[in-house]
Amino acid sequence: MTQFSRLGTLAPLAALLWFGAAPAALAAPPESCPATLQHTYPRLQDEKPQSLCQYSGKVVLVVNTASFCGFTGQYKGLEELHARYKDKGLVVLGFPSNDFSQETGSNQQIADFCENTFGVKFPMFAKSVVTGPEASPLFRQLAQMSGPPRWNFHKYLLGRDGKLVDSYTSLTAPDSKSLVRAIEQQLAVAPNR
């Protein structure tokens, strides 16, 4: 009898841990992660891969962003939303994009701008395509549900179950009553355990 055979059904996990499996192998299993979050994107600051499954059970606000847009000031409001509601289960996810020719910097330049200008602490991901046939898988899914972003700072609100609750144009500020009310309603829903 080997040291792993005595562990029974835990043997595969024990083997992964014993032989130093990559953390991605230990991520939340797909059945507990909504389809909308079953994606991995590089983090903006260091381009390390991040599974969106880590946000399962949270209320998620997905936003395509840009540094040189008339709506760029919304970073401040998004950070305020994130800070105000993060302990209650909200996460804001920012996806910089140059689809509208207003995000020309490198990932590091974008990260520095967001932190230095607006104090952004919510999760930001590497610059990506958010519209058209080359859109990232997450934005393709969101577009199928409610249409693609028509401009920067388009917002998609996902409930704790990962389902789309609503989407908001760039004209909807982060502190708008309709958006805040929808977020609070979703936060009131108990997370599945």
Q: Which residues are catalytic?
A: 69
- Residue 149 has phi, psi (to 5 degrees) of -60, 135
Task: Extract the tokens encoding 23.
Answer: 């953390």
C-alpha of 103 from chain center: 19
DSSP three-state, residue 168:
strand
- Residue written as tokens 């562990």? 7
Quote the CA–CA distance of 108 and 126 in Å, as a whole number: 9
Task: Extract the tokens encoding 145.
Answer: 């549900």
